[in-house]
Amino acid sequence: MARRSRNITEPVDSGEATLAPDPDRTTCWTLSVDGLPQSYVDTEDPRNLRYRYMRRLADVVDAAAPAGRPVDILHLGGGALTLPRYVAATRPGSPQRVVEKDAALTDLVRRVLPLPRGANVRVRAADARTAVEATADARFDLVIADVYSAARVPASLGTVEAAAQIARVLRPPGWYAVNLADGHDLAYTRSQIATLRKVFPETCLIAEPGVLKGRYFANLVAVAGPALPLAALAKEAGRDQFPASLLSGADLDRFVAGARPVTDADARESPKPPSTLFT
């Protein structure tokens, strides 16, 4: 007799969401929306981060303060709340605010995969850019953006005006980390780095060498702010199971050469992933 699926599928505001258990680990689940993977969660060990870009973002969290010290974090994009769970486990007591536009998705995730007891996580249903604009100055130590709609980063978050708003809500010397997706000539990523450099004093880019050479479409993580922990981030990226490179300074100058910052007037979504990426 075939094993009955434990998949949970429900309509949400952005489409149809599925929570699928990992057949090899009963405490692990994958969240997909309209067939596109969004999050991977280990409810027993939130430190277990399967997605490579999520490990890069976690490295930023780890470098933000001495181990275990709480930090104020604004998460733009919620999904299955993978990173907030990680922060709650590694920095107990950290006040975390999550902006997730899809309220029905959040309800599903919190019902099926509830947050651990004591996690100081509040989720607000709102547009990410709108929520940032309504936030007080110098409110957060970190802002982390992982916002996607149909596997594309919305245009409204990738502009000079949006970056300026994010810089405004950061408490000095706060950092901004954003998950990007790109491939081929990386024109979108180059323009995003140029945009961040227009606003922040320092920027770096973390990605696998094959992605930086345009060999395949994948995630890249940009980090911006004053006094970035470049050595620590490069070390962690380099010793990952899938090692990544960190570009900064002159290397990033060469990468971004010729790219122009993006404004609200010419904003665009990140490129559409190839149809074979999720098959």
What pLDDT is stored for residue 258 in this prediction?
Answer: 97
Judged by average pLDDT, the poorest of 1-5, 136-140, 200-204 is 1-5
What pLDDT is stored for residue 70 in this prediction?
Answer: 98
Instruction: Taking residues 59-69, report their average pLDDT.
Output: 98
What pLDDT is stored for residue 3 in this prediction?
Answer: 44
| Burial status of residue 251 (CB atoms within 10 A of its CB: 0-12, 13-18, 19 or more) | middle
What pLDDT is stored for residue 276 in this prediction?
Answer: 73
Instruction: Taking residues 85-89, report their average pLDDT.
Output: 99
Instruction: Taking residues 25-51, report their average pLDDT.
Output: 96
Instruction: Taking residues 224-229, report their average pLDDT.
Output: 98
What pLDDT is stored for residue 262 in this prediction?
Answer: 99
Alpha-carbon distance of 178 to 53, in angstroms, equals 10
List CB contacts of 250: < 8 A, sequence separation 6 or more.
none
What pLDDT is stored for residue 4 in this prediction?
Answer: 45
Alpha-carbon distance of 30 to 23, in angstroms, equals 11
What pLDDT is stored for residue 185 in this prediction?
Answer: 96
* pLDDT, the chain, mean: 96
Order across the sheet with 73-76: list the strands: 121-124, 96-99, 73-76, 140-145, 170-182, 218-224, 203-207, 245-247
Alpha-carbon distance of 202 to 6, in angstroms, equals 46
Alpha-carbon distance of 232 to 157, in angstroms, equals 27
Instruction: Taking residues 179-194, report their average pLDDT.
Output: 98
Residue 171 pLDDT exceeds 90: yes
Domains of the chain: 8-260 (3.40.50.150)
**Token pair belonging to 174:** 């706060």
Alpha-carbon distance of 91 to 10, in angstroms, equals 32
**Token pair belonging to 32:** 């997909």
Instruction: Taking residues 16-35, report their average pLDDT.
Output: 96
pLDDT band for position 14 (cuts 50, 70, 90): very high
Kind of pairing between the strands at 170-182 and 245-247: unpaired
Instruction: Taking residues 93-100, report their average pLDDT.
Output: 99
Quickly tell me which residue has 């303060």 as its tokens.
65
Question: Residue 261 phi/psi, 5° resolution?
Answer: -60, 150
Cα distance between the two ends of the chain: 27
Residue 2 pLDDT exceeds 70: no
What pLDDT is stored for residue 1 in this prediction?
Answer: 33
Residue 78: strand, helix, or coil: coil
